[in-house]
Structure 1
Amino acid sequence: MRERKSVKFNLQKQEHQNGHLSPFKVAKLFDPDASWDKDQLGDVLHWIRQSLALVCGLLWGAIPLVGGIWFILFLLLSSGIIYAYYALVLKIDEEDFGGHGALLQEGLFASISLFLLTWILVYSLGHF
């Protein structure tokens, strides 16, 4: 009996080391009392920004919108949503994660690339 418990514990320990302990819980995304480490929060902010970039790029290209004002609107919308998420929803102390600059920069350049690529491709395909 004791042997099975130690085998089970060792398997759980190996799963934890491999990063396969348990699936990420969606409820944690909206829980202000949840604990976050810097990498987890950075990943969540990064993927929120990428999702928003894809949606805005598809929308801007499909409408079709042109001009720099729409690019600036994407940047403001993206940064505003990220700020509102970590400051108002999660209510974290930004100084623990490197300040506002570090959190607002998380995933920014990749999202700009994805937004522009999606916007240009969808806009171009609509004009053939």
Structure 2
Amino acid sequence: MMRDRKSVKFNLEPQQHQNGHLSPYEVAKLFDPDVSWDKDQLGDILHWIRQALALVCGLLWGTIPLVGGIWFLLFLLFSSGIIYAYYALVLKIEEEDFGGHGALLQEGLFASTSLFLLAWILAYSLGHF
């Protein structure tokens, strides 16, 4: 079930070219502080940023191999720091318009935690066969 998403300045739906890739202009919109965001659009972007970080960190942690709860906490702090930096410093949005820091920092947190742990465990296990 897809919802129509509207933006005041432009449509953020990905516009694919013949080769199936996004244009550099479309990617540049993700870093433009003048873009108007609605709650669903921003939530989706924060969710997918966190998922990408979870996959990369999980594979990296497992490949190195790092073990222990401190590394899990470090991932949570790292991913939350990246999310905060993205919406507060890059996009410069008013967090109160989107439910405050708690709502924005929670976006995608539980799914990314699961993905991080899965990637970490699989990478660690495959490295020790």
TM-score w.r.t. the length of structure 2 is 0.82
Q: Please state which structure has a larger fraction of its residues in helix.
A: 1
Larger radius of gyration, structure 1 or 2? 1
Whole-angstrom CA distance in 1 between matches of 2:80 and 2:117: 16
Q: How does 1:85-104 map to 2 (within 5 A)?
A: 85-104=86-105
Secondary structure, counterpart of 1:111 in structure 2: helix
Whole-angstrom CA distance in 2 between matches of 1:104 and 1:29: 18
Q: How does 1:1-128 map to 2 (within 5 A)?
A: 23=15, 25-128=26-129
| Greater length-normalized contact order (CA 8 Å, ≥ 6 residues apart) | 1
Deviations 1:31-54 (A, max 9, x none): 000000000000000000000000
Deviations 1:2-46 (A, max 9, x none): xxxxxxxxxxxxxxx6x9976272111100000000000000000
Aligned pair count reads: 112
Gaps of 5+ in 2: 16-21
RMSD after superposition: 2.0
Secondary structure, counterpart of 2:30 in structure 1: helix
